[in-house]
Amino acid sequence: MQKFAKYMVAGKQLYTTHCSNCHQESGQGLGKLYPPLAKSDFMMQNVNRTACLIKNGIKGEIIVNNITYNQEMPALEELTNLEVAEIATYIYNSWGNERGFVTVKEVETSLSNCQ
């Protein structure tokens, strides 16, 4: 199997385990509680920030597609860089998102520069 395809398959599984409770299988999020990942302008703006928030969580006010969210997303520190890359590849290339492959190397760089 091609590397990209492998990442997509592994990423989907990890997404189901770690993310879909809140963001839903469809990536649509849940009302005013959980923001969407499908066609999210916030996510598309910055892949580095996404890698960091997957690993470290995020809280405080954020605006996604003109809607304000202010809840806490828990950290997932147990994820390896490879797993973060697989999840990122999956969410950036599903539900109409078309950003392309997010490599482990990219994730490594992102995670060493988290704010």
Judged by the rule CB under 6 A, the positions of this chain that interact with ligand HEC are 18-19, 21-23, 34-37, 40, 42-43, 50, 53-54, 58-60, 62, 64, 69-71, 73-74, 76, 87, 91
DSSP one-letter code for 74: P
Amino acid identity, residue 61? E
CB of 7 to ligand HEC, least distance (A): 14
Least distance (Å) from ligand HEC to the CB of residue 59? 5
> In the numeric block, which tokens belong to residue 31?
């009302």
CA-wise closest residue to 18 among 80, 109, 110, 94: 80
CA distance 74 to 25: 18
Closest approach of Cβ 3 to ligand HEC, in Å? 20
Of 45 and 112, the one with the shorter C-beta distance to ligand HEC is: 45
